[in-house]
Structure 1
Amino acid sequence: MKINQLKFGIYLSYVSLFLTNITNLVLTPFIIRNLGQSEYGLYTLIGAFVGYIAVLDFGLSNTTVRFVAKYRVEGNKEEEERFLYSTTIIYLIITAIILVIGTIIYLNLDAIFRNSLTVSEIEIAKIMFIILVINLGLTLPMNLFKGIITAYERFVFPRLLTIARTVLRAIVVLILLAFGYKAVAIVLVDALFNVAMMILSMLYVFVKLNIRIKRHKLFFSVFKEIFSYSSLIFISVVVDQLYWRIGHLLLGILASTSEVAIFSIGMVFGQYFITFSTAISGVFLPKITKMVVKNATGEELTDIFIKTGRFQFIILGFVFGGFLLFGKKFILLWAGPNYGISWIIALIVMLPLLIVLIQTIGITILQAKNMHGFRAFAYLIISFINVFISIYLVGKMGAIGAAIGTSLSLFLGNIVAINIYYQIKVGLNIPRFFKEVFRGLLPSLGISIAIGSILLLLSDTTWLTLISQCVSYTFVFIIFIWYFGINKFEKNLIKKELRKIKRSKN
């Protein structure tokens, strides 16, 4: 029986996302407690450091998907082979560059971290760094094979591979920690799993898909086309690194590994917060594209912007309110008593994200209008400003300063600059957006948080108390959102979905 690749690929994506989040939530406290705050900070610092070298992929994975899919539709096998050969050459050059850069950095790690790390920490850092750089050089070309598999619409295999890796890695890491192994062992395990995934992906491409990377005459036009497409993707990757990893690096250089660990835990919750917003916006691209093609007005696009923004605010507002009330208690139970400041760091970052993430549909509108170039370059400029702000604030305030730097860059780039662009160039009605999104929902959230704060009188720091507080807050939030927050259209839509679920069970 032929497998519906798209259908099962979507199901497996959700399974993979669920397993990844659950294993991280379970595994992270074990890693923290077994490594200790200092070595855990070192572990996250070196991972973030190597992440900057990883941007040398230049967005070629997504570029591979686009071009291979295009040549498949056209039935142009020769151009597909020429593209894959050209991309292979580029990846080999990138691998060589990574190894050279990695060697230079490795030889200068003592100088980079001499003011923040001890001699023993630098030695451990060197071992982890060289493992990660060699692993990156070997496995970065795997992105080519991942791109080919996706372009051939084989979604089940890579997702099964990811699920298997997630589960097996968690089991192996837990066993190693139980036997007293430390950060270097975890890094080595990750490296071995990455190599194994690369080999399996290669075998799938060459054996199952019967793809051949044949030598063809190279044309400058091919390289120009590849880099012109991948440049915007590359900018997005650079921005992502500067937004979410610059704090780790600066704290590692200017402060200590303990500060890195505290900051890292706070940023983990910022990343979790982002995942709650992705479920809605992604499915609207086809609909918005059709609206744009039919010359929909700015007000019509604003309407759908508002509808999705309100649903996202319900979800994100609920999560933010719960974390504001009970996040510190959760972190103390989950990570340990040394990570109370991580709650403040997470809140500092989550506050601007609450606005940014209810506007993710705006990115979809920009893509449909082919106007996303401004966003990429604006974010790049703001992210570099973030670097300079963070350098100053880290020196003054440590991990809190790094969080404020990230938060300020989110506010300036993702809220101020992009909303001005939405209003002036895209034609969206931004004042109406915020007025309509917050109507009913913001007061309901505020009242729910105010009532929920009474639950803080239960001061016991136990899992049972925390769970009971969260359940009570959820009950209060649902009541106020249902009766005072959402409008008639939203109530009918929710009732309709609940009826569908009920019928499917019957």
Structure 2
Amino acid sequence: MMKNRQLKVGGMLSYFSTILGYMISIVYTPVMLRLLGQTQYGLYNLVYSIVSYLGLLSFGFGSSYIRFYSRYEVKDDRKSIAKLNGMFLSIFVIIGIVSVIAGLVLVKNTGVILGNKFSNKELSTAKIMMIVMVINIGITFPGIIFNSYLSAKERFIFQNLLQILRQVASPLLTLPMLIMGYGSIGMVIITTIVNITVIIINIYWCLKKLKMRFIFRQYDTSLFKEIAIFSSFIFLNMVTDQINWNVDKFIVGRYKGAVAVSIYGIAAQINTYYMSLSTTISNLFIPRVNKLVASDSETSDEVDSLFVKVGRLQFILMGCILLGIFIFGRQFIIIWAGREYTSAYPILLLLATPTIVPLIQNLGIEVQRAKNLHHFRSWVYFLVALINIVVSIILVKQYGAIGTAFATAMALIFGNIIVMNIYYYKIVKLDMIRFWKEIFSVIPAVIIPAIYGYFLMYFSLVNSLKDLVVYGIIYLLIYFCSMWLFGLNRYEKRLVTGLIGK
């Protein structure tokens, strides 16, 4: 009963957190862009994309924790869990120290890394930002184990309340810094302070409320090897994600400068919000997938049903958002960020459109990990990502930021869609025919709102914030009604009426 409450209330809080984050971003980002300017914002994006590569030093250990925790949880083996906690904390403390050392090397070579498109003042600002970000990521690593433990214990309510606190605190504290003229340096300082505060709260909750235990001796070396092998393939996925979502900024900055990075950064930021909505659903089911696979009573039909159920819910939501991006995206960017960011619209379409397929299937990633079948995916994504780098460098010289976005889109279509759907069907033994039949059964419900959107675009009816709000609300109502009549099944209708009732 407790876990069901965590799942339902945690899910509602998760979406509230996401929507609140969007609302705050809608208000905060335009102010931030105008206070920073295109160059400072582009520099911030570029430095962030470089330092984020230090996150790869986690080697995927964080994502593997829940799988091994679930193995002991089903057996109620508290001592093994305590040893697992001790092992992971030791690993992350070491990784945190290594990341700081590696980060200081990056700081020393800032000019070499960024190239000759930046002034001495911009390089000096980048160096200070890099120092603060390196400290931030060094502290973040030891905190991973506590956040992973909360997820494994399915404490979704607490996690999402803390996320809401983070979302509100960051802009409220950052704006005064920007107004006082501290620029991008002030932004990263506030981000670091908020992040450290959240980590401290997580640690307190795990130790005092959940009685999290650690044993720092008698490590099982065979278990460590198993974790390392398992995590190494997650690490390859992390490298791939960094290449697909961050290397473009570095390539654009290297060849086209800070302003081009700022334009690409706006498209990437909106795309990140778009992707995060999908994971808010699937993240709630990660512990359940691992326990299903770890349990002796697991059947393929149970896993298939959960995969299809979550996939349909994700498609209904993500389809609404993607269609909305096509209809309102260009005008939203102009109103929200400014007319100088108009060219971010085609970049956004290239990034968001092919992403919808892996987003509605992201529970399949957890099924692979739970079954220890994620190796192939890791290698495929990694090789495709390397090709993406080469093609991006070739295209950026002639087509700029949109060229790198096109290369990323092609990589996603080939690797994440074509190859992985074959792998899901042949090796992971997920019923992909059933999955796609269920997805295609929802598509007719999208036709009516799509026609409405075409009408709006053809006659250019959205030209102001008022138009965006009014026509956007009408679009949502049309989409919901069409989906209710032609798309939702009985389970999904009961889910909606239950939520409305509550």
TM-score when normalising by structure 2: 0.85
Q: Answer yes or no: is the 8 Å Cα contact 1:60–1:143 preserved in 2.
A: no
Asked if the contact 1:109/1:126 (under 8 Å) is kept, the reply is: yes
Q: Which of 405, 408, 415 lines up with 1:406 in the alignment?
A: 408
**Structure 1 match to 2:109:** 108
Distance in 1 (alpha carbons) for counterparts of 2:93 and 2:366: 34
Q: Using the alignment, how far apart are the partners of 1:438 and 1:492 within structure 2?
A: 17
TM alignment of 1:492-503, pairs within 5 A = 492-493=490-491, 495-497=493-495, 499-500=497-498
Counterpart residue number, 2:193: 192
User: Separation in 1 of the partners of 2:371 and 2:85?
Assistant: 30
Correspondences of 1:114-263 after superposition (within 5 Å): 114-151=115-152, 154-209=155-210, 211=212, 213=214, 215-218=216-219, 220-263=221-264
| 1:347 aligned partner | 349
Q: What CA deviation, in whole Å up to 9, does each residue of 1:307-348 have, x standing for no partner?
A: 765554443333222221221111100011111011111111
Q: Label 1:154 to 1:434 Cα distance change in 2 as closer, same or farther (>3 A).
A: closer
Distance 1:500 1:116, change over 3 A: same
Structure 2: how far apart are the matches of 1:284 and 1:81? 24
Distance 1:218 1:431 in 2: 44
Structure 2: 5+ residue stretches without partners: none
- Given that residues 310 and 438 in structure 1 are in contact (C-alpha distance below 8 angstroms), is that contact kept between their aligned partners in structure 2? no
C-alpha deviation, 1:129, in angstroms: 0.2
Counterpart of 1:53?
54
Distance in 2 (alpha carbons) for counterparts of 1:157 and 1:493: 27
Residue 327 of structure 1 corresponds to 329
How far off its partner does 1:256 sit? 0.9
Distance 1:86 1:295 in 2: 32
Choose 36-45 or 105-114, whichever is displaced more.
Answer: 105-114
Aligned to 1:42: 43
Partner Cα distance (1:151, 1:208) in 2: 15
Q: How many residues align?
A: 495
User: Secondary structure of 2:182's match?
Assistant: coil
Q: What is the rounded CA distance, in whole Å, between the counterparts of 2:87 and 2:95 in structure 1? A: 12
Q: Which residue of 1 aligns with 2:472?
A: 470
Using the alignment, how far apart are the partners of 1:292 and 1:400 within structure 2?
A: 49
SS in 2 for 1:115: coil
The 1:310–1:199 alpha-carbon spacing in structure 2 relative to 1, beyond 3 Å, is closer
Q: Is the 8 A contact 1:61 1:146 kept in 2?
A: no
**1:200 and 1:368, CA in 2 relative to 1: closer, same or farther beyond 3 A?**
closer
1:11-45 deviations in Å (ceiling 9; x for gaps): 54344333333323322222111100110111111
For the Cα contact (< 8 Å) 1:458–1:465, is it kept in 2?
no
Higher mean C-alpha displacement, 355-364 vs 36-45: 355-364
Q: Are the structure 2 counterparts of residues 75 and 309 from structure 1 closer, same or farther at C-alpha, using a change threshold of 3 Å?
A: closer
| SS of corresponding position for 2:217 | coil
- Residues 236 and 33 (structure 1 numbering): CA distance in 2 closer, same or farther, change over 3 Å? same
Rate the CA distance shift 1:270–1:292 in 2: closer, same or farther, 3 A: farther
User: Counterpart of 1:381 in structure 2: which amino acid?
Assistant: L
Query: Would the alpha carbon gap of residues 80 and 371 (structure 1) be closer, same or farther in structure 2, given more than 3 Å must change?
Result: closer
Distance apart, 1:284 and its partner CA = 6.9
Of the three residues 394, 397, 412, the one matched with 2:396 is 394
Name the structure 2 match of 1:97: 98
Contact 1:71/1:79 (CA < 8 Å) preserved in 2? yes
Aligned partners of 2:404 and 2:208: how far apart in 1?
Answer: 48
CA–CA separation in structure 1 for the residues paired with 2:324 and 2:358? 19
Fraction of identical pairs, as percent: 32
- The residue correspondences of 1:245-284 to structure 2 (distance < 5 A) are 245-278=246-279
Q: 1:150/1:363 Cα in 2 relative to 1: closer, same or farther (>3 Å)?
A: closer
Deviations 1:258-304 (A, max 9, x none): 1111111111222232234346656777598699944559xx95x88
Whichever residue aligns with residue 405 of structure 1, its letter is A
Counterpart amino acid of 1:199? I
In structure 2, distance between residues paired with 1:156 and 1:309: 23
Larger mean CA deviation between 381-390 and 181-190 belongs to 381-390
Structure 2: distance between partners of 1:280 and 1:153: 13
Q: Sort the Cα spacing of 1:206 and 1:310 in 2 relative to 1 into closer, same or farther, 3 A.
A: closer
Q: Which runs of 5+ in 1 are unaligned?
A: none
Written as runs of structure 1 = structure 2, the 5 A alignment for 1:478-489 is: 485-486=486-487
1:70-89, aligned counterparts within 5 Å?
70-71=71-72, 79-89=80-90
Cα deviation, residue 447, structure 1: 5.7
CA distance in 1, matches of 2:284, 2:175: 37
Q: CA deviation at 1:166?
A: 2.1
Instruction: Give the 3 Å change call, closer, same or farther, for CA 423–176 of structure 1 in structure 2.
Output: same
Pick from 396, 416, 424 the counterpart of residue 418 of structure 2: 416
**Residues in 2 aligned to 1:193 and 1:440: alpha-carbon distance in whole angstroms:** 41
Which 10-residue stretch deviates more, 70-79 or 456-465? Answer: 70-79
In the superposition, relative to structure 1, how do residues 183 and 378 fare at CA in structure 2: closer, same or farther (>3 Å)?
same
Name the amino acid aligned to 2:102.
I
In 1, the alpha carbon distance for the partners of 2:383 and 2:72 equals 35
Amino acid at match of 2:27: V
Distance 2:134 2:410 in 1: 32
